[in-house]
Chains A and B, each alone.
Chain A
Amino acid sequence: MEYYPVMTLGRRGVNFITRLGGIFVMIGRFVVALKDIPRSVRLIFEQLYAIGVQSLPLIIVIAIFVGAVSAWQAAYQFKFIGAPLRYLGQAVGKAVVIELAPVLSALVFAGRVGAGIAAELGTMRVTEQIDALEAMGINPMRYLMMPRVLACLIMVPLLVVFSNFIAILGGLSVAVVGVDISSETFLEGFKSSFQVTDFVNGLIKAGVFGLVIGLIGCYEGFNTKGGAQGVGVSTTTSVVISSVMILILDFVFTVLLFRL
């Protein structure tokens, strides 16, 4: 009896390694499938629309509040350490561009899009639609996986560009209305500290997150077993794993990209 936890842990470990291996294999398949972009243009545009454009409203709402809360928090901390409020734009700008917009957008995206991909492909798996594609000589990696992963890879950075912009506006509004500093002061602070490399590095992180969300959603979807319950499990698993991977990779890439 007392071996059970150990065995469960062992099995979990094996599952995790299998999954990691599977995801690496999928990266390879994705790269191979990229050569079929020319004849998959329609499929890619469908996904860009479904995955990207339709996520925009949600990303905007999130961004407004991310900017707003970070302005309030920064002002609160400035008061605590007695820093001058004219640096507020700087603090909010850095936090949003480097960290908050990429990570929070990615987490929301994992919940909306990653889960959607896993559920859709999982349903196709358990209802034999993926078998039917293969039976017709259509490669599911090209037809289903590549357009989705590519759309995630393109759309997460694009959404983060929007998110940056909106979040700064959110922060600005709170600064003007709640903290009582002028918009000129806030924007000057923001401009004085803005660096293109920060912005680009934030987008690089966003691209990595997008790739990870797409790959994990597809992997979990393709490997769904059982019926409706299996689809539920895949969906949840894809969100959990993507979210954890986003936070781990965020740390890794932050250390790599932003040298102290």
Chain B
Amino acid sequence: MNECLIKIEDLHKSFDSNKVIDGLTLSIGRGESIAIIGQSGTGKSVLLKHLIRLLSPDRGRIYFDGKDIAKLQGENLVAMRRRYGMLFQSAALFDSLTVAENVGLGLHESGDYRKSDIDIIVQDKLEMVGLSGSADKYPAELSGGMRKRVGLARAIAAGPEVLLYDEPTTGLDPITADVINDLIVSLNQRLLVTSIAVTHDMASAFKIAERIVMLYEGRIAFDGTPEQIKISSNPIVRQFVTGRATGPIQVR
């Protein structure tokens, strides 16, 4: 494996009495592309939010580039977060801003870019996700899939080193979904970004990831390549990959 970029050690997180993450340990190398799969409600989104400290663990540590992120303060915390780009599951667009303003906000507020440069970057990113015609629309005027793509354009706008995608293709038609998959692959290969994608879509996972991690009951049930997961005999993995209602995983 490449040099380790993100290291999660013995992570625990509960919300009141609901234990979500229960001793999870995971290392992610620089430049890797990982897909995280798992049943709805197993804590995939919660895990992503921990990486940029939108949530804090009850126990355990997360290291980013060798530093314990719990110890980062002020400017250092901001600097760490700016090295990430995150696509939220709900897209989380700012509803008082236009599509273009949403995509450009991070650049604008960082104070490191000129207005004319921001316009060019925004236009470029919107083209990448196939939305250059919607720059002046407001989020409320977009469809769910369009919002997702704006969220994606916003996540990649500042050229982050690590991209966190929370269900990038959910709610998209198969053709658009494939365009987004290609985009994720090309970001990963051309720009050498590290990518961590949460997905339910096995076709997407196989396409975008060189490593697949499955969460089950707050821990990692499987960690391996797409080839390995296809031939895995682990009943939990088999049930998920083949998508059957019956088996060791019970829907509660």
In the complex, whether A176 has a CB less than 8 A from a CB of chain B is no
* A132 adjacent to B88 (CB under 8 Å): yes
* B92 adjacent to A132 (CB under 8 Å): yes
Contacting A at CB under 8 A, from B90-117, are 90, 92-95, 105-106, 109-111
* B90 adjacent to A137 (CB under 8 Å): no
* A137 adjacent to B92 (CB under 8 Å): no
Chain A contacts of B110 at CB under 8 A? Answer: 137
For residue B96, give the distance in angstroms from its CB to the closest CB of chain A. 8
* A131 adjacent to B106 (CB under 8 Å): no
In the complex, whether A39 has a CB less than 8 A from a CB of chain B is yes
Interface size, chain A (Cβ < 8 Å): 15
Chain A contacts of B88 at CB under 8 A? Answer: 128, 131-132, 135
In the complex, whether A134 has a CB less than 8 A from a CB of chain B is yes
Chain A contacts of B35 at CB under 8 A? Answer: none
* B94 adjacent to A135 (CB under 8 Å): no
What does DSSP make chain A's interface, helix, strand, loop or mixed? helix
* A136 adjacent to B105 (CB under 8 Å): yes
In the complex, whether B30 has a CB less than 8 A from a CB of chain A is no
* One of B79, B90, B95, B109 near A136 (C-beta < 8 A): B109
Binary CB contact string for chain B from 27 to 67 against chain A (1 if under 8 A, 0 otherwise): 00000000000000000000001001010000000000000
* B106 adjacent to A137 (CB under 8 Å): yes
In the complex, whether A54 has a CB less than 8 A from a CB of chain B is no
CA separation between A135 and B105, bound complex, in Å?
Answer: 12
For residue B92, give the distance in angstroms from its CB to the closest CB of chain A. 4
Chain B contacts of A133 at CB under 8 A? Answer: 94
Given A39-B111, A127-B92, also A135-B86 (CB < 8 A): yes
Given A135-B81, A137-B106, also A128-B111 (CB < 8 A): no
In the complex, whether A139 has a CB less than 8 A from a CB of chain B is yes
Contacting A at CB under 8 A, from B103-138, are 105-106, 109-111
CA separation between A137 and B52, bound complex, in Å?
Answer: 10
CA separation between A134 and B106, bound complex, in Å?
Answer: 10
CA separation between A139 and B106, bound complex, in Å?
Answer: 11
Chain A contacts of B94 at CB under 8 A? Answer: 124, 129, 132-133
In the complex, whether A253 has a CB less than 8 A from a CB of chain B is no
In the complex, whether A143 has a CB less than 8 A from a CB of chain B is yes
* A137 adjacent to B82 (CB under 8 Å): yes
* A135 adjacent to B90 (CB under 8 Å): no
Choose among A39, A124, A128, A139 the residue with the greatest number of B CB atoms under 10 Å from its CB. A128
Chain A contacts of B79 at CB under 8 A? Answer: 137
Chain A contacts of B105 at CB under 8 A? Answer: 136, 138
Q: Which residue of B lies closest to A139 (CB)?
A: B78
For residue A8, give the distance in angstroms from its CB to the closest CB of chain B. 19
Q: Which residue of B lies closest to A135 (CB)?
A: B86
In the complex, whether B216 has a CB less than 8 A from a CB of chain A is no
Chain A contacts of B90 at CB under 8 A? Answer: 127-128
In the complex, whether B84 has a CB less than 8 A from a CB of chain A is yes
* A129 adjacent to B92 (CB under 8 Å): yes
Chain A contacts of B82 at CB under 8 A? Answer: 136-137
Q: Which residue of B lies closest to A134 (CB)?
A: B54
Binary CB contact string for chain B from 186 to 225 against chain A (1 if under 8 A, 0 otherwise): 0000000000000000000000000000000000000000
Query: Could you list 4 further interchain pairs (A-B, Cβ under 8 angstroms) beyond the known A129-B94, A131-B54, A138-B109?
Result: A132-B88, A134-B81, A135-B86, A137-B78
What are some 24 contacts across the A-B interface (CB < 8 A)?
Answer: A127-B90, A127-B92, A128-B92, A129-B94, A131-B54, A132-B86, A132-B88, A132-B93, A132-B94, A134-B52, A135-B52, A135-B81, A135-B84, A135-B86, A136-B106, A136-B109, A137-B79, A137-B106, A137-B109, A137-B110, A138-B105, A138-B109, A139-B78, A143-B109
Chain A interfacial positions (CB closer than 8 Å to B) = 39, 124, 127-129, 131-139, 143
Chain B interfacial positions (CB closer than 8 Å to A) = 49, 52, 54, 78-79, 81-82, 84, 86, 88, 90, 92-95, 105-106, 109-111, 154, 158
Closest 3 pairs between A and B when the two form their complex, measured CB to CB: A128-B92, A136-B106, A132-B92
